[in-house]
Amino acid sequence: MRDGNYKTMMNGSSDCREILQIITSCNNIVNKKREKSSTNDSSSLSREERRRRRRATQKYRTAHATRERIRVEAFNVAFAELRKLLPTLPPDKKLSKIEILRLAICYIAYLNHVLEA
């Protein structure tokens, strides 16, 4: 081709035909591999890989964040209700969650002691 023999190569030399057949057969093999990899992409994935892909979507992350906010809000409401039932001085003292739990344990133990006496 460098020598300007492009027309003679295209006019039917057997070497050119063989080269063209090899090139087209290689292209066909590559295309078939691409088709297989794209069709088997989702079916060949393990359950964990499919789960990771699903979790990577924006829709899933938004829904998960909403569920998490609802869960945390319910958790905080439960702590607030428990806090209202516990006697403290002063009554409006702000307590951390761990302090509320420890105070609840002590208060339950005290009430249990009162019932036994």
Domain ranges in the chain?
1-44
CA dist., res. 85 & res. 81, Å (int): 7
pLDDT tens digits for range 48-93 = 888 888 888 888 899 999 999 999 999 999 999 999 999 988 888 8
Instruction: Report DSSP letters for 55-88, one per residue.
Output: HTSHHHHHHHHHHHHHHHHHHHHHHHHHHHHS--
**Structure confidence at residue 51 (pLDDT):** 86
Categorize the per-residue pLDDT at 42 as very low, low, confident or very high, splitting at 50, 70 and 90.
Answer: low
Residues 29, 35: contact at Cβ < 8 Å? no
Residues 36, 28: contact at Cβ < 8 Å? no
Give the SS3 label for residue 11.
coil
Mean pLDDT for the stretch of residues 109-117: 94
User: What Rg value do the Cα atoms of the chain yield, rounded?
Assistant: 37
> In this model, does residue 109 exceed pLDDT 80?
yes
pTM above 0.85, yes or no: no
